[in-house]
Amino acid sequence: MKKILLSFLLLSCVFSYSQTLVPDNSFGDNGTARFSRNEFYPNRGLLVNNNYFFMSTQSIGKINYNGQIVTGFGTNGFLNLNIPNETVTLTNFVFENNYFYIYGKIKNNSTANENMYIAKIDPNGNFDSSFGTNGIFKTDLGANESISSVVVESDGGLYCVGSKYSPSKMIHFKVNPNGTLNTAFSPNGYKEINSSFSTLGASIIRYNNGYLLIGTIAIPANNTTHPEMIIVNVNGDGNVQTNFGNSGIKQVKFNSSEYFFTANINDIQFTDNKLFVNYEYAFSSNYMGSNLLIYNLENNITVYNENQSQNFYFIVDSSIYTTEFCPRCCFMSMCTSSYNLNKKNLDGTAEVSFHINGSYNYSFVYSTHPWTANNGSSLSRVIIKDDNGKFLIGGYVTAPYGIQGFSLLRVEPGVLGVNDNKFKTFALYPNPFDDELNFQSDNPVKSLEIYDLTGRMLNKPISRYENGITTFSTYNITEKGTYIVKILTSEEKVIIRKVIKK
């Protein structure tokens, strides 16, 4: 009995508060939904008016808050921008003033010319006929062009950044509120960023009383320079502010230690005078990844740069969240169906109070259609956190032996892992443990999970119950070290403790 009490006291000393996550049973099928849309790869997402909107390169889908397709949106819940004799590619969308602005590029199927477009629709999928032609603005600037980012200005007009090719130049232009090119901004409709390098536009964000135009510098033909980010400060009229950087321009290396074949900016967020840049890179056409760079504009220092990680990055409520992905998966790949949602502080350290040591393990599996294959891939490129603290993870699952396609998972905050007065007599022992763990309490145990310190769940041990003690078999945990145990009682109370494998 003394050993039991001693173990209890030791465990109480290393206990820390932790907010757990659990599947949200009010969403889809026990928190998960998968749709028979094999061609829909969501890469953007927004929560608008209690509905989720997801965008792929070809269409936009609408899912209600309970995880069901809103069939009245577009065609059976998915809206395509169909234009005769042209192929439309969706790049991104924003929601302002009760309208979505969807933008990307249009390729003429006869001439192969690529031009820019912006479409304006309401949350029900109706095009705004007062904008452009039948709700769509298109422009041809005399070459192949693409649009990569827009800002909605106070008068309802749009300030845009993109690229003009042959040679590649970052351009910026404005669109009037009625969906016509603003030639008062520039006689030919756009302005170029002058640089001795080839540049590509990526993003525009508000900055002080003007804007930052952000893009990339392509690698010269001799491959002696690493790809760089270019940052340009302009005022509301599009004039470069020469007191910013070097004549109005700053250049930042994505990575100075390794050579990238390409580096493309996927998303940028601006917080606390820092740029949080999620960029995707490639060493070759067969090896790709996703990185996060944090750049302090005030002192021109890269404060964080995580490299060669198979994660997608998101900045939510001044924290870094990542979802894992398994790239280039095929029939014989070693990918699994299990991935992690991780939370980090802005300095890159793990936020240990988030679930188990900063990580939540998830899988796009749901009860009525279980996906049991070990092979496959998960591309979780969307995270949406709502005001209730619920996280929705959106992605695409490839499953050679099961159902695959557009998939969603929503989790919500569970019970805090804190000492509860109802657990006056509980104990978890022995500690250190060998092949078994015992839990003694006046409250029955529903489940026990064991995690390593990276947040990876190792197993749910087999248990037996006798005389108020539940014994869990831990024989398959062979490595010595510290582990996290999460106990769920029959009353849905969560207890989290650290234990040591001897």
Q: Where do the domains of the chain lie?
A: 2-12+418-501
pLDDT score of 17? 44
pLDDT score of 278? 87
Task: Identify which has the larger pLDDT, 474 or 348.
Answer: 474
Evaluate whether 217 touches 202 at the Cβ level (below 8 Å). no
Most confident of 58-67, 269-278, 478-487: 58-67
Evaluate whether 164 touches 192 at the Cβ level (below 8 Å). yes
d(CA 254, CA 298) in angstroms, rounded, equals 18
Average pLDDT of span 286-303:
81
Q: 271-280, long-range: CB within 8 Å, 24+ apart, which pairs?
A: 271/315, 271/318, 271/346, 272/318, 272/346, 273/297, 273/298, 274/303, 274/346, 275/214, 275/231, 276/313, 276/315, 276/320, 277/214, 277/229, 278/312, 278/313, 278/314, 279/229, 279/254
- And the tokens for 176? 């009037």
Average pLDDT of span 465-471:
81
With cut-offs at 50, 70 and 90, classify the pLDDT of residue 144: very high
d(CA 240, CA 233) in angstroms, rounded, equals 6
Task: Identify which has the larger pLDDT, 186 or 289.
Answer: 186
Q: Which of the residue ranges 18-27, 250-259, 368-377 would you say has the lowest mean pLDDT?
A: 368-377
Average pLDDT of span 285-292:
63
d(CA 59, CA 304) in angstroms, rounded, equals 34
CATH architecture under which domain 2-12+418-501 falls: Sandwich (2.60)
User: What pTM was computed for the model?
Assistant: 0.78
Task: Identify which has the larger pLDDT, 46 or 13.
Answer: 46
Closest by Cα among 316, 185, 193, 174 to 245? 193
Task: Identify which has the larger pLDDT, 466 or 156.
Answer: 156
pLDDT score of 207? 94
Amino acid letter, residue 325: F
Residue located via tokens 């070693």: 334
Sorted by sequence, the CB contacts under 8 Å of residue 173 that are 6+ apart come out as 160, 162, 181, 182, 185, 186, 189, 190, 191
Average pLDDT of span 258-262:
55
Evaluate whether 90 touches 102 at the Cβ level (below 8 Å). yes
- And the tokens for 358? 């900063």
> Sheet of 436-440: strands edge to edge?
427-429, 436-440, 469-473, 463-466
With cut-offs at 50, 70 and 90, classify the pLDDT of residue 8: very low
Average pLDDT of span 302-319:
77
pLDDT score of 483? 83
pLDDT score of 48? 97
d(CA 210, CA 201) in angstroms, rounded, equals 17
Q: Answer yes or no: is pLDDT of 49 > 90.
A: yes
pLDDT score of 172? 97
DSSP H or E run through 464: strand 463-466
Residue 89 Cα to chain centre, angstroms: 21
Evaluate whether 438 touches 449 at the Cβ level (below 8 Å). no
Evaluate whether 45 touches 54 at the Cβ level (below 8 Å). yes
